[in-house]
């Protein structure tokens, strides 16, 4: 069935990097962009960026440029989001979400909790 399965929780130290995966099933993987959205504890949703698994092009929110990278693997139908130079402010739940109709997110992963602490 249509679903996005994300990797498990991560604990990282300040300055480290984290790579979160999102495995898609139930649809043609390369036909849909994937978005990444994060939510810090008690805070709202924040759009981080998007990637096209067909062409490979990615667009990142201004505040993450230079330390974020989104990649994909067609053979495993998986999208990855890597965030570097982690600080405590990066502690959040990270969601992947499928874009449909070029303008909204119809299927979401269950989220990956990333905790940054010394």
Partner 1 sequence: QSALTQPASVSGSPGQSITISCTGTSSDVGNYNLVSWYQQHPGKAPKLMIFEVSKWPSGAFNRFSGSKSGNTASLTISGLQAEDEADYYCCSYAGSNIWVFGGGTKLTVL
Contact residues: partner 1, CB under 8 A: 35, 37, 44-47, 50, 59, 61-62, 95, 97, 101, 103-106, 108-111
For the chain, count helices (H), then strands (E).
Answer: 0, 11
14 DSSP 8-state letter: T
What torsion, rounded to 10 degrees, do the Cα atoms 77, 11, 66, 36 define? Answer: 40
Nearer to partner 1, 15 or 63 (CB): 63
In the complex, the smallest distance separating the C-beta of residue 60 from partner 1, rounded to whole angstroms, is 9
In the complex, the smallest distance separating the C-beta of residue 59 from partner 1, rounded to whole angstroms, is 4
In the complex, the smallest distance separating the C-beta of residue 9 from partner 1, rounded to whole angstroms, is 14
103 DSSP 8-state letter: T
Nearer to partner 1, 19 or 110 (CB): 110
- What is the b/e burial string over 97-110, where b = at least 16 CB atoms within 10 angstroms of the residue's CB? bbbeeeeebebbbe
In the complex, the smallest distance separating the C-beta of residue 15 from partner 1, rounded to whole angstroms, is 26
Nearer to partner 1, 3 or 84 (CB): 3
Both structure tokens of 35 = 């978005």
Q: What angle do CA 97, 99, 104 make, to 5 degrees?
A: 100
Nearer to partner 1, 27 or 47 (CB): 47
């Amino acid at each position: 069935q249509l679903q996005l399965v994300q990797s498990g929780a991560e604990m990282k130290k300040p300055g480290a990097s984290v790579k979160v995966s999102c495995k898609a099933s139930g649809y043609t993987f390369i036909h849909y962009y994937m978005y990444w959205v994060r939510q810090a504890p008690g805070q709202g949703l924040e759009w981080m960026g998007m990637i096209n698994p067909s062409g490979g092009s990615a667009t990142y929110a201004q505040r993450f440029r230079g330390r974020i990278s989104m990649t994909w693997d067609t053979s495993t139908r998986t999208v990855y989001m890597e965030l570097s130079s982690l600080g405590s402010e990066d502690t959040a739940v990270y969601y992947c979400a499928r874009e449909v109709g070029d303008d909204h997110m119809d299927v979401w992963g269950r989220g990956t909790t990333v905790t940054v602490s010394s």
